[in-house]
Amino acid sequence: MRLSRRNFLQSALSAGAAAALPAGFSACTASASKAAGRVNSAAFAGVSAKQFTTSSVVAFPKNFFWGAATAAYQTEGAWKEDSKGESIWDRFAHTPGKIKNGDTGDVACDSYHRWREDIALVRAMNLNSYRFSISWPRVQPAGSGAANSKALDYYRRLVDALLEAKVRPLVTLYHWDLPQALEDAGGWPNRDTAGRFADYVDVVGRALGDRVSDWILLNEPAGFTDLGYLEGTHAPGRKSLLDFLRATHTVNLAQGAGFRALKAARPAARVGTAFSMSPCEPATNSEEDKLAAERAHAITNTWFLEPALKGRYPEALTFLPETVMGIKSGDMEKARAPLDFIGINLYYRTIAWAPKALERIGHAQEWLFPVKMTGGEQGPKTDMDWEVWPQALYDMVMRISRNFNRPPIEITESGCAYNDAPGVDGRIQDTRRIEYHREYLGALARAMADGADVRGYHAWSLMDNFEWAEGFRARFGLAYVDFATQKRTIKESGRWYARVAADNALLPAAAAEHRQPAQ
């Protein structure tokens, strides 16, 4: 979900548990069995994701999760209904000039009332996993204290309906909608917020843990700390290097505290975090740019992962402002969270290079983190001007697999904004989105063939929704939403994805085109 969320420090910098490979993964000719065995990875050395899926059937493991993702503020609406408290996004979106076209999430997709329609989309697309988030201010209107029973009842109904439909609920506990009361008390830069988060996790875990087994603690901590506290383009809209640095450390403490709280409430729970990631490539072959790419990787991909898994901040950083960040004795042990799986949200790659000495003068960020970053320019672009680069998914999954002892991975988000509208026949011919997912899934299949332990893929998003600072103008959905009527219409990409999920395989492009549309 969205460009600015995936460029941790980008504008600020430029402005101044191992398991066996799931059984059954295979790639074979169209006439061969899907269960032909594991891919011979050597046969695909140097082969692009597009080539990989053009002439072969790529079968995924039995019990692979085919899913789609949403987030509470982007879809639920009902912003002050049933005693829900104000969130930082309610406050931010209601502030003139913050969101394009003056859009807000007050109604969004009205999923608070239309959740049955959402589940109907999930079923129509043959999905067996649905990732959604819990609204913290809906559960605890003031950010602490007793739970709002109406909120918990809503989420129980949603989860029960998913289970009845044989769909796994993959629940995100924090997807950016901090209770405004906690922001008024200091927000994420305030260490106390970590404790409040753990209390909230305990409340939800005890209420829903008899139904939900798989949990995501945080969505893209790099994104909401950078954009909310450094760049100010997202809620709560602060622009402070000090606030940003302190927020990142509090979030790492919250991740550790939340993990322990959920395990204490539900010991059998599978717990992970969804990290925004992007492989960082050097702009040139110079040693300076290669070093800059490693620094970019540390900043972009492992700032919140290494504290959880290794109890430290990334070693590629030349200087860590411990005093400014508010790091205290014993904190790194508190930040530890032996995650059961790593969620990866990935859309594109990052190009990194070393700033010149004069460029660093007067820019505190570049003294702390001597690297400049931008997106790639070689591939085709989406309607959000993001580069489509499927190799990025392969590279990122393989690096995390190598560096962290081949952990279980789920792709918790991947998608593209293409603003195709219904034609005269009412169909939404979003063929570019089909090609995006076909090629990114091909790249993912290659990574699995080369040993990565990937358990699922979640398209962003199930349906068009409120796209943060972009408002409703950027459409990422597999289903089209008419925001005037709230009518949902499955796009051609959603029909294609439904066939992939039903087959548990990618068919060759030519063969797929002759399949009957999914109903």
Span 382-396, average pLDDT: 98
pLDDT at 320: 85
d(CA 221, CA 301): 10
pLDDT reading at 2 higher than 70: no
Nearest to 430 by CA among 373, 475, 375: 475
Q: Residue 519 falls within a domain, yes or no?
A: no
| Average predicted confidence (pLDDT) for the chain | 90
In the numeric block, which tokens belong to residue 222?
């790099």
- Confirm if 281 and 346 have CB atoms less than 8 A apart: no
> How far apart are alpha carbons 250 and 335 in whole angstroms?
9
Residue with structure tokens 């530890």? 336
pLDDT of amino acid 32:
30
Which tokens in the block code for residue 393? 């998914």
pLDDT at 263: 98
Q: How many helices (H) and strands (E) does the chain have?
A: 21, 16
Q: Which residues are catalytic?
A: 220, 413
Local confidence band at 363 (pLDDT 50, 70, 90 cut-offs): low
Query: pLDDT (tens digit, 9 = 90+) per residue, 7-29?
Result: 444 443 333 332 333 333 333 33
In a domain, 518, yes or no: no
Give me the DSSP letters along 287-321: HHHHHHHHHHHIIIIITTTHHHHHSS--TT-S---
Band the pLDDT of 46: cuts 50, 70, 90. Answer: low
Question: How many domains are contained in the chain?
Answer: 1
Q: In what order do the strands lie in the sheet with 350-353?
A: 280-282, 350-353, 372-375
Q: What is the pLDDT of residues 163-194, one digit of tens each?
A: 999 999 999 999 999 999 999 999 999 999 99
Domain containing residue 235: 3-58+65-513
* Separation CA 505–CA 59 (nearest Å): 4
Q: For residues 172 and 233, is the Cβ–Cβ distance under 8 A? A: no
For residue 420, give the nearest of 382, 475, 466 by alpha carbon.
475
75-111 pLDDT, tens digit each:
999 999 999 999 999 999 999 999 999 999 999 999 9
Q: At what angle do helices 111-124 and 149-164 cross, to 10 degrees?
A: 10
Whole-prediction pTM value? Answer: 0.91
Could you tell me the CATH number of the domain that includes residue 98? 3.20.20.80
Residue pair 91/180 in contact (Cβ under 8 Å)? The answer is yes
pLDDT at 225 > cutoff 60? yes
Residue 459 has pLDDT above 50, yes or no: yes
**DSSP structure class, residue 478:** S
User: Poorest-confidence range of 12-21, 196-205, 242-251, 451-460?
Assistant: 12-21
Contact 199, 261 (CB under 8 A): yes
Q: Cβ distance 58 to 500 under 8 Å?
A: no
Whether 401 and 451 have beta carbons less than 8 Å apart is answered as yes
Question: What is the rounded distance in angstroms from the CA atom of residue 336 to the CA atom of residue 306?
Answer: 9
CA dihedral sign of residues 154, 158, 161, 163:
negative
Domain presence at residue 271: yes
Supply φ then ψ for residue 498, to 5 degrees: -60, -40
What is the pLDDT, as a whole number, of residue 516? 52
Please check whether residue 170 lies inside any domain of the structure. yes
pLDDT at res. 415: 98
Q: Please check whether residue 421 lies inside any domain of the structure.
A: yes
Instruction: Express each pLDDT in 390-413 by its tens digit.
Output: 999 999 999 999 999 999 999 999
Query: What is the rounded distance in angstroms from the CA atom of residue 504 to the CA atom of residue 519?
Result: 17
According to the model, what pLDDT value does residue 370 have?
86
Within-domain flag for 32: yes
Give the pair of three-digit tokens for residue 109.
């997709």
> 73 vs 22, 276, 483, CA distance in Å?
34, 18, 15
Mean pLDDT of 113-136: 98
